[in-house]
Amino acid sequence: MNGRRKVVVDTNAFFIPEVFGVDIFSELERLGYTEILVPAEVLSELERLRRKRGLKGREKRALNVALALIQKYAAETEKAEEAERVRERRGEADGGACGATSGGEMRRRIFSVRILRAGGERGAEKTEQVAGEVGENRRKSTDEAIEEIALRERAAVLTLDEDLRRRLRKKGILTIHLRGGSRLEEAW
Residue 87 lies in a domain: yes
Residue 138 lies in a domain: yes
What residues make up the domain containing 71? 6-187
Per-residue buried b or exposed e for 6-33, using 16+ beta carbons within 10 Å of the residue's own CB = bbbbbbbbbbbbbbbebebbebbeebeb
Residue 14 lies in a domain: yes
pLDDT band at 101 (very low <50, low <70, confident <90, very high): very low
pTM, full prediction: 0.76
Instruction: Calculate mean pLDDT across residues 96-112.
Output: 46
- Mean pLDDT of the chain, nearest integer: 80
**What's the number of domains the chain is made of?**
1
Segment 117-146, tens digit of pLDDT: 787 544 433 333 333 334 445 455 899 999
How many whole angstroms separate alpha carbon 42 and alpha carbon 164? 14
Residue 84 lies in a domain: yes
Residue 16 has pLDDT above 60, yes or no: yes
pLDDT band at 72 (very low <50, low <70, confident <90, very high): confident
Residue 158 lies in a domain: yes
Instruction: Calculate mean pLDDT across residues 52-72.
Output: 85
DSSP single-letter state for residue 14: G
pLDDT above 70 covers a percentage of the chain that reads 77
The reported pLDDT for the residue numbered 134 is: 41
CA distances from 4 to 1, 33, 104, 150 (A): 7, 7, 27, 14
Cβ atoms of 135 and 52 closer than 8 Å: no
CATH number at residue 85: 3.40.50.1010
